[in-house]
Amino acid sequence: MTARTRITIASETQRRAQARAAELGISVAEYVRGLVLNDFEVASSKFDISTMFDLIDEGPPTDVTRDKDKMIGEAVWAEYRKTKWR
């Protein structure tokens, strides 16, 4: 189900949107729909930065500076084993 929406934008913004849509070979409406959908995808793809740096307070404490080579080796070995046995 779709709904019709009217928006008001500055003339210069409209001109630029029309030019960009023309470059992409799509209508201005499709261009705007794509922008809105992309915004939703970006917002939903945000993640907790603490997971990237292993800042979760679970399991035994680690010292990444001291143990990084061992940790990388274990991760590479685990990945190798996954692909080796497929």
- Residue at 58 is within a domain: yes
Q: What pTM does this model have?
A: 0.49
- Predicted local distance difference test score (pLDDT) of residue 28: 95
Q: Are residues 40 and 53 in the same domain?
A: no
Q: Are residues 79 and 61 in the same domain?
A: yes
Q: Are residues 19 and 36 in the same domain?
A: yes
- Predicted local distance difference test score (pLDDT) of residue 1: 84
Q: Is the pLDDT of residue 21 over 60?
A: yes
Q: Which domain holds residue 24?
A: 11-44
Total count of domains within the chain: 2
Cβ neighbours, 10 Å, residue 71: 14
- Predicted local distance difference test score (pLDDT) of residue 52: 58
Tell me how far apart the alpha carbons of residues 31 and 28 are, in angstroms, rounded to a whole number.
5
Q: Are residues 39 and 53 in the same domain?
A: no
Read off the pLDDT of residues 54-78 as tens digits, 9 standing for 90 and up.
Answer: 555 666 666 777 888 888 888 888 8
CB distance 35 to 21 below 8 Å: no
- Residue at 27 is within a domain: yes
Which residue is associated with the tokens 């070995």?
A: 77
